[in-house]
Structure 1
């Protein structure tokens, strides 16, 4: 456990041996979602409100940036960072805020040109955990109703429902007045089978950042396979 600036406890687990890499998970991810990387020490942490971490209120994106900063301090004072989906946007915002990040790898930051839909934001804010989970999977992720109904009956559903209150945190991370910018070397990763808008978002962000490149991982989607992600990250962060 480490303690963030506002007193919130943040659960951190280092895995492996080598240069420090911090994993910032996306929606419905906890520290168990981090992929290990051969040759690196991966610092996986539960973002606030998830797993074993605290959830001091009121929530603000700035507090999550402070959480990431204290994890990086624990990792040695500076670190490479990889972020997944909304976690990639949080990592980018942290780098833009001056958190000591030496390199960024961002997998499919879902930066639409218009940002989160206001109706979705309002409905998510008012929803209970089960409703929020169904709203996210059905509306934001486009899961068909029959697939959603099947998922409700799986053993994974209770664990996802426990994480559902933090979906509004991810949504707030995505609300931007302008795109963050940083000179930190950045690689933006996308899956070759992901929707066109995801590739357009990566290209738009890479054009915006002064020190960024893009890499497409053939046949992958937003639900990327962990071995493929690990291989890509090892190449990107070496």
Structure 2
């Protein structure tokens, strides 16, 4: 484990995987994800071993070994975290983002010097009013839960109200061993909401919001994911100045690394 210090003084922990010559990519997880999550570890190892990439796999603030800024949930801070990681990578790096991490990667690409390319896997943009649109007052209820450290309640609330998961599905997850990992990262969901809130309104994405993304972008989705996520991914690709959309066969929102990693690796190693 290594660390960097973000602009506001927050310590961000990361693992450097591989020492390839094909460039560097920073992995950005979504809600409840963290750097030691099996999927993130497998992805980092595969990109390093099979594609010669140097991979920085980090804990977003409030997760794992990274520090937090309790009560301060500003997307600018998470963008600054990524800027510090790009600097640690030598000043240049591509970004891979999953779910809310995909949206964060795209936002960072607008502002962080040295970002060379972005792969955005299923950014959860809600562009159709018929899909699940989170309540406008979500933060008013979420933030007090976090302040009171009501972790189980926070998991249930964020999954059902922000992500739109069925209540029964979330209740069943409460019985699985993985629930403790969800609870452990639950207080970081306010950071996810800070990223996603403007883009889950059931409205079309405005290309003007993304015109400053000057790097090549690959937007990915799986053919086994929800139609809402597919609509959001296609909308993102259409709104970005230089983006390609691709659908991966046999892949859901919880991806198969054997299929996802080659799509990422091929794109990044082909992008100067």
State the TM bucket, normalised to the shorter chain: over 0.9
Report whether the alignment pairs 1:96 with 2:100. Answer: no
Match of residue 180 from structure 1: 210
Q: How far is the alpha carbon of 1:230 from its aligned partner?
A: 1.3
| Rounded Cα–Cα distance in structure 2 between residues aligned with 1:187 and 1:107 | 8
Q: Contact conserved, 1:192 with 1:218, CA < 8 A, in 2?
A: yes
| Rounded Cα–Cα distance in structure 1 between residues aligned with 2:126 and 2:250 | 22
User: Which of 138, 154, 157 is equivalent to 1:120?
Assistant: 138
User: Which of 147, 160, 184 is equivalent to 1:138?
Assistant: 160
| Rounded Cα–Cα distance in structure 1 between residues aligned with 2:29 and 2:259 | 16
Structure 1: gaps of 5 or more residues: none
> What is the TM-score of this pair, normalised by structure 2?
0.81
Q: Contact conserved, 1:116 with 1:174, CA < 8 A, in 2?
A: no
Structure 2: gaps of 5 or more residues: 200-205
Report whether the alignment pairs 1:11 with 2:13. Answer: yes
User: Which of 201, 207, 226 is equivalent to 2:257?
Assistant: 226
Q: Which moved more, 1:25-34 or 1:124-133?
A: 124-133
Stretches of 4+ aligned residues off by more than 6 angstroms: none
Q: Contact conserved, 2:73 with 2:194, CA < 8 A, in 1?
A: no
Match of residue 60 from structure 1: 74
Q: How far is the alpha carbon of 1:231 from its aligned partner?
A: 1.9
User: Which of 207, 220, 232 is equivalent to 1:201?
Assistant: 232
| Rounded Cα–Cα distance in structure 2 between residues aligned with 1:226 and 1:66 | 28
| Rounded Cα–Cα distance in structure 1 between residues aligned with 2:169 and 2:234 | 31
Report whether the alignment pairs 1:81 with 2:95. Answer: yes
| Rounded Cα–Cα distance in structure 2 between residues aligned with 1:62 and 1:25 | 17
Q: Contact conserved, 1:11 with 1:46, CA < 8 A, in 2?
A: yes
Match of residue 247 from structure 2: 216
Q: How far is the alpha carbon of 1:195 from its aligned partner?
A: 2.0
CA RMSD of superposed structures (Å): 1.9
User: Which of 55, 63, 66 is equivalent to 1:50?
Assistant: 63
